[in-house]
Structures are given as C-alpha cells and as structure tokens.
C-alpha cells in the first residue's frame, strides 16, 4: 500500500469560533516550524520504505505559509522519501490569503489539488462562523485558483447553522456549486467542547438544530449533491468524478500508512500510531517531537477498520473480518431495517444508516471480542 504524507501548518490569523484544532495565531514561529518539519522528515523518513503518492498540507491555514517554504518541504520530501511520479499534493487555503502570483507559484511547485475554505456563500453565515472573508472574496479566490491552473479544486462548506432553514442551505449550496468545484466537503456544524460556539449555544445565545432537523439536513445534503452530480463517497465528502476523490484521505479510512509532520500531527504504520507535541513552541524545540504512541492490538485495528469502513461508500468486506467482529443477526437487522445494504460482498450503510453511523459502530463494536 502506498503511503501518505501529512504536514500540519498550525498558523491562523485568528481562531474561528467553531474551531477545536491545534492552531496558533502567533506567526513568528514560521521559520522555526519549517526547519522543524524538515528535521522531522529526516528523522522519520527512513521508517517508511513505502512509496508516497500523496502530500497534504492541512491546518491551521497552510495558505499563510510562504509558497517557497511549502516548496522547500516538498523538495525535502522528494529528496528523502520515495515519491510516486503521479503524486497528489493538496494544500488548504483560505480565500483572500493567496494572490494570483502565490497561486501560480504553488501550482508550479507541484501542488495540484487546492482545498478552499469557502464554508458558505452567504455573508451572514460567514460572520456567524467568524470567518474573515466575504462571500464575494470566496468566489474570487475560487476563480483565481482556476485561472492559476488548478484543475482539481475542492471546497469546504459548513451547514446546519442555527436559525437557518433548509431552503436557505439549498440556496447557499446551489451558489457554491455554480462555481463548479471538482469536489465538495460538506460538514455539519458541530459544537466541539471548549469552543466559543459551544459555550454560546450552551448559555442560550442561539438554539441549535434538533436531532431531527440535523438528520433531515444530512439526508438532503447528500441528495442535492448527488443530484448535482457529486457522488458521496464518505460521510462528508463528495466528488464529481472518482478521480477527484481525496486520495490522501482514503489512506486514513483504509488503514494505509501515513507520516504526519508538524505539531499535533498523527502518524500510522504497521499497527503503530504516534503523535507529536501540539503546542508549536514545544514542537519546534523538541529533539524528537513525538509526544506519545500506541501499539494497536489486532482487535483494535479491526475495530478501527470497522467504524472507518462504515463511514465510506466502500463499506466493510464481511468475510474478511474474523468471526465475532460482526455478529450476524445484528448486521442482518440493519439490512432488514434499510440502514445497510450488501453491495458486491460488502456491507455498507445506506444514506439513512450513515446518519447514525456512530450508533451502528458502537453497537457492532460492542459485539467485538476484546
């Protein structure tokens, strides 16, 4: 199995109210960060004899890193890892960060997939989400990326905002699709513990959607995107053509090896997972930035493959799983209820089942042997 490389760029202009990621608004560490990422690449690279066919710059806000910094990291990867000629290199960007020149430069460096943090096409939504760009800036950024030669652009959208009805969401989604993105990640708004958004909701500043409404929005989103030609292949991910599916993210869902560089990044290989210091200061100062690790048991790996598989269109290949992981009468009851279906020997969830994938995973997980 080919491996993937993840690079965490922890810098942001400010923290959005819904965000629970490991980020920093202090950009004076940029140079230290680049140096530390390359050092980590040298430290860990030899442990990965696999061929890498994806690089993913995630954040944070990778578009805040200067393009030449991104370039030096890509170069280091090419030099110290085995890299496939057909490599997918994704970079997340916020509208407004990148000039036409930056975009051209990044494209030149080999970045061939741009993930644009549009979030919404409506100014009220953007302001509620404390995003600093306008709907127009989002649209302009998209068009500029196309003009710079990006033939594979994905957009992030957030739906399920409070006090917005389904028609409003349909309109926002429709406006986004008019840009003709190649791929859409549509995330239902979650109120992560510790975020201001969660606090505001809990103290009653606004009323979040009911579970019924959330379920309805989830189903409608899948339907509307499918009708527009975007095939759902994971809970929140939709591709206009199979080739636009995120090759990198599939690695997480299929248990492929991946090397994560940067603060808080996770790596996984051969049943072992490790992760780095989260605070940038600690990450850049550490001789070895690894903060912790775990060795997964067979059962834990099976459990992960089960719940990850259930989130995707590929589902799980039942006969590949050892006896006891899936207890047959239970899986049968999901088939009977129309929450799951068997397609080409794989057990996968239907749209209705996907909405409750966590509950189904917990239920089936409860049947696994320790």
Partner 1 sequence: MRRDRIRNFSIIAHIDHGKSTLADRMIEITGAVPDRSLKDQLLDTMDIERERGITIKSNAIALDYEAEDGETYCLNLIDTPGHVDFTYEVSRALAACEGVLLLIDATQGVQAQTVSNLYLALEQELTVIPVINKIDLPAADVDRVHDQIESELGLDPFDAVECSAKTGQGVEAILEAIVALIPPPADKVDLPLRALIFDSQYDEYRGVVIHCRVFEGEVNKGDMIKLFGTDREYRVEETGIFRISRIARKTLSAGEVGYVIAGIKTVGNARVGDTMTLAENPATEPLAGYRDAQSVVFSSIYPVDAVDYEDLTLGLEKLKLNDASLLYEKESSASLGFGFRCGFLGLLHLEVVQERVEREYGISIITTAPTVRYRITHRTGAVVEIKNPLDYPDPSVIDFTEEPYIRADIILPERYLGPVIALCIQNRGMNQKMHYMDPRNVELRYDLPLAEILYEFYDRLKSVSQGYASFAYEPLEYQKADLVKVDILVNKERVDALSFLSHRDRAVARGRLICAQLKKTIHRHLFKVPIQAAIGGNVIARETISAMRKDVTAKCYGGDISRKRKLLEKQKKGKKRMKMVGSVEIPQEAFLSVLKTSKED
Binding site for partner 1 (CB under 8 A): 6, 58, 187-190, 211-212, 214-216, 218, 235-236, 249, 252-253, 258, 260, 264-268, 273, 275, 294, 300, 303-304, 307-308, 311, 337, 339, 354-363, 365-366, 368
Q: Between 29 and 307, name the residue whose CB sits nearer to partner 1.
A: 307
* Residue 265 φ then ψ, to 5°: -70, 145
Q: Between 105 and 233, name the residue whose CB sits nearer to partner 1.
A: 233
Distances (CA, A) of 236 to 128, 184, 217, 218: 21, 8, 12, 9
Q: Would you call the peptide bond into 136 cis, given omega within 30 degrees of 0 as the criterion?
A: no
Q: Between 6 and 142, name the residue whose CB sits nearer to partner 1.
A: 6
Q: Say how far apart CA 122 and CA 172 lie, in whole Å.
A: 6
Specify whether the backbone of 242 is left (phi greater than 0), alpha (psi in -120 to 50) or beta.
Answer: alpha
The minimum distance between CB 183 and partner 1, in angstroms, equals: 15
The minimum distance between CB 136 and partner 1, in angstroms, equals: 26
Q: Between 134 and 321, name the residue whose CB sits nearer to partner 1.
A: 321
Q: Between 178 and 358, name the residue whose CB sits nearer to partner 1.
A: 358
The minimum distance between CB 146 and partner 1, in angstroms, equals: 26
Distances (CA, A) of 287 to 23, 97, 312: 21, 32, 38
Q: Between 128 and 275, name the residue whose CB sits nearer to partner 1.
A: 275
CA atoms within 13 A on the CB side of 16: 26
The minimum distance between CB 368 and partner 1, in angstroms, equals: 8
- Which H or E run contains 140? helix 135-147
Q: In the numeric block, which tokens belong to residue 254?
A: 């299929």
The minimum distance between CB 359 and partner 1, in angstroms, equals: 5
Name the one residue in this structure whose structure tokens are 């808080």: 264
Coil, strand, or helix at residue 289? coil
Sheet-wide strand order for 346-349: 316-317, 346-349, 340-343
CA 150 to chain centre: 19
The minimum distance between CB 275 and partner 1, in angstroms, equals: 7
The minimum distance between CB 358 and partner 1, in angstroms, equals: 4
Q: Between 65 and 235, name the residue whose CB sits nearer to partner 1.
A: 235
């Amino acid at each position: 199995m080919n491996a993937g490389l993840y690079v965490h760029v922890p810098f942001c202009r400010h923290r959005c109210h819904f965000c629970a990621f490991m980020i920093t608004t202090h950009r004076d560490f940029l140079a230290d960060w680049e140096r530390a990422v390359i050092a980590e690449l040298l430290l860990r690279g030899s442990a990965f004899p696999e061929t890498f066919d994806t690089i993913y710059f995630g954040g944070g806000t990778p578009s805040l890193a200067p393009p030449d910094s991104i370039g030096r990291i890509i170069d280091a990867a090419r030099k110290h890892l085995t890299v496939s000629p057909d490599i997918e290199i994704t970079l997340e960007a916020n509208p407004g960060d990148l000039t036409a020149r930056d975009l051209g430069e990044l494209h030149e460096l080999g970045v061939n997939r741009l993930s644009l943090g549009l979030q919404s096409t409506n100014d009220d939504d953007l302001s509620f989400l404390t995003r600093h760009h306008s709907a127009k800036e989002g649209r302009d950024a998209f068009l500029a990326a196309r003009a710079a030669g990006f033939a594979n652009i994905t957009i992030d959208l957030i739906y399920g905002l409070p006090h917005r009805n389904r028609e409003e969401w349909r309109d926002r989604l429709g406006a986004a699709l008019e840009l003709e993105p190649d791929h859409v990640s549509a995330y239902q708004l979650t109120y992560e513990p510790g975020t201001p958004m969660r606090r505001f909701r809990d103290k009653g500043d606004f009323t979040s959607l009911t579970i019924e409404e959330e379920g309805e929005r989830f189903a409608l989103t899948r339907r509307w995107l499918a009708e527009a030609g975007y095939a759902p292949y994971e809970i929140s991910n939709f591709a206009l053509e199979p080739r636009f599916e995120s090759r990198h993210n599939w690695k997480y869902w299929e248990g492929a090896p991946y090397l994560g560089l940067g603060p808080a990044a996770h790596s996984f290989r051969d049943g072992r997972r490790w992760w780095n210091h989260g605070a940038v200061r600690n990450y850049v100062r550490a001789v070895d930035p690894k903060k912790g690790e775990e060795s997964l048991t067979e059962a834990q790996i099976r459990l992960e493959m089960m719940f990850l598989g259930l989130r995707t269109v590929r589902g799980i290949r039942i006969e590949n799983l050892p006896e006891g992981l899936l207890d047959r009468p239970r899986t049968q009851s999901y088939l009977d209820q129309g929450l799951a279906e068997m397609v080409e020997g794989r057990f996968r969830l239907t749209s209705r089942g996907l909405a409750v994938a966590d509950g189904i995973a917990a239920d089936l997980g409860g049947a696994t042997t320790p």
